[in-house]
Amino acid sequence: MVNHPGGRARLHALGVRHIPTLARGKEYVMCQVIADVAKFVGIQHFREVKLGPDELMKKWLTVLSAAQRYIRQFPVARLAQRIIETRDQSVLHMGYHVMRIGHAFLETAVNGVEDWASISMEMPPPTVRSGDDVAVYGETVKMRLSEWWQGQTDQSCSREVKTFTGAQPLRDFLERQTWHSAQHVRQLAAVLEGMGIAPAGALSADDLAGLPLPKALWE
């Protein structure tokens, strides 16, 4: 929807309210699970190497720590600007959204909330006005995620959770939210670089290895 004019209207006509979504005529698939996308486009005998939940959690916490560093680097005067011109979202909101994804994950995993996307897109409260405010909020999210993970008796995450796209294994939902956060952190880093600011402690290829990230930065 960012790169294709009219994309939002087309998805709404199909009854779709969330992205990423892949559409073909009147058919579409929610791109939450890579295997679903492979089936939709006709890839046969699709196989993927999946990281274990423990590794995913480690990577997610690493990604969120990077987000904390990056959002603190933005000049205060630039926090209200759009993350990119074609997206109606401020830098501050993007940073908050990265952290809010973790909160939304817990709402689904713990409380059974299906529409995690709406929760993740909530605007920052009036008390969150600076990069440091976002980072402090992010620390509480990291602590909650760590406590949740340590309390799991079944760390295979094989049980199913229900989301607005349907039921899926908790492990797959964990993967989806890990790479979701990682993609936005890549975007924050790119915006910093565009301002001539080197991202502090840039994420390495190893940090992101095994995550099914989009190749394009703004997809």
CB 120, CB 104: distance < 8 Å: yes
Residue 153's alpha-carbon distances to 78, 158, 159, in angstroms, are 44, 11, 11
pLDDT of 49-60, one tens digit each? 789 999 999 999
Could you tell me the pTM of the whole model?
Answer: 0.82
Query: Which one has a higher pLDDT value, 219 or 12?
Result: 219
pLDDT of 92-136, one tens digit each? 999 999 999 999 999 999 999 999 999 999 999 999 999 999 999
Q: Residue 38 is which amino acid? A: A
In a domain, 74, yes or no: yes
pLDDT of 67-83, one tens digit each? 999 999 999 999 999 99
**What is the percentage of the chain residues whose pLDDT exceeds 90?**
74
CA 15 to CA 148: how far, in whole Å? Answer: 34
CA 168 to CA 121: how far, in whole Å? Answer: 21
In a domain, 2, yes or no: no
pLDDT of 160-193, one tens digit each? 999 998 999 999 999 999 999 999 999 999 999 9
pLDDT at 20 over 70: no
Kindly state whether residues 59 and 135 are assigned to the same domain: yes
Question: Strand, coil or helix: what is 88?
Answer: strand
Q: Which helix (H) or strand (E) holds 163?
A: strand 160-163
Is the omega angle on the peptide bond into residue 20 within 30 degrees of 0, that is, cis? yes
Q: Which helix (H) or strand (E) holds 23?
A: strand 21-24
| 19-42: average pLDDT | 64
| 10-30: average pLDDT | 62
Residue 27's φ and ψ, nearest 5 degrees, are -100, 150
Which CATH number covers residue 140? 1.20.120.450
What integer pLDDT is reported at residue 12 of this predicted model?
60
Residue 142's alpha-carbon distances to 61, 103, 174, in angstroms, are 6, 9, 14
**What is the percentage of the chain residues whose pLDDT exceeds 70?**
79
Report the Cα 163 to chain-centroid distance in Å: 15
Q: Chain-wide mean pLDDT for the chain?
A: 89
Q: C-alpha dihedral over 42, 218, 208, 112, to 10 degrees? A: -70
Q: C-alpha dihedral over 53, 57, 59, 61, to 10 degrees? A: 180
Kindly state whether residues 64 and 32 are assigned to the same domain: no
40, exposed or middle or buried, with CB in 10 Å at 0-12, 13-18, 19+?
A: middle
- The total number of structural domains in the chain stands at 2
Q: Which structural domain, as residue segments, surrounds residue 21?
A: 7-40
What integer pLDDT is reported at residue 21 of this predicted model?
65
Kindly state whether residues 36 and 57 are assigned to the same domain: no
What integer pLDDT is reported at residue 153 of this predicted model?
94
Kindly state whether residues 36 and 103 are assigned to the same domain: no
